[in-house]
Homo-oligomer: A and B are copies of this chain.
């Protein structure tokens, strides 16, 4: 049996490494920061996960998921994103409310539940934040995505995903009228700091480059 805490470590490692191909290893401090626990706590847990052959690492070395650990992590990510989709599509949850509840639901253990939920939702490919949902074999189809910063002035694009899923980010997005599938027109861009003036449903806002980098568009 793998505990909830263990599942969270595996998922965190997956997000910090496998999810972005450039980076294949993580450090103790990095993991600790991500999970909001202390490095000592991570160190203890790593010993347990190593024992279970879910991560590979040696003293003072870097941390990697094993094949087994990666598979497990992907399964948790799959559940997380399916539940988010369920909450958004079926239970009228908003964009910024789904994550917190999915953090709990992702730990429910029932193979049948996941597969039936997937079917019930019509085998969705992306979650409400536009992230890909792994299929039942653990395969993930990443779409090559452009961010708002790639769109030239004058052009119009459509929001298909967000990079950040924090409530503060999502609430800000909602505040300026953004939602999945919103049409965004680029009015102007400051060379100085990359901030952009955009128009959504005839409403203009100016947002920072940092914000723009978190909007995936098509």
Decide: B93 and A112 in contact? CB cutoff 8 A: yes
Interface residues of A, Cβ cutoff 8 Å to B: 87, 90-93, 97, 100-101, 104-105, 108-110, 112-113, 116-117, 120
Supplied contacts A101-B108, A101-B112, A101-B113, 8 more A-B pairs, CB within 8 Å: A91-B116, A91-B117, A92-B116, A93-B116, A104-B108, A104-B109, A105-B105, A105-B108
A112 touches B90 (CB 8 A): no
Per CB-CB distance, the 9 closest pairs between chain A and chain B, nearest first, are A91-B116, A101-B110, A104-B108, A101-B113, A91-B120, A92-B116, A90-B120, A105-B108, A91-B117
Tell me the number of copies of this protein: 2
Min CB distance A31 to B, Å, is: 25
CB distance from A61 to the nearest CB of B (A): 36
In angstroms, Cα B104 to Cα A116, docked, is 17
* Neighbour of A91 across the interface among B92, B97, B101, B113, CB < 8 A: B113
Query: Quick one: which of B87, B112, B117 contacts A113, CB cutoff 8 A?
Result: B87
- A97 and B97 CA atoms in complex are apart in Å by 29
Closest Cβ of chain B to A119, distance in Å, is 8
CB distance from A70 to the nearest CB of B (A): 24
Contacts of A87 in B (CB 8 A): 113
Closest Cβ of chain B to A88, distance in Å, is 11
Q: Which residues of B contact A108 (CB under 8 A)?
A: 101, 104-105, 108
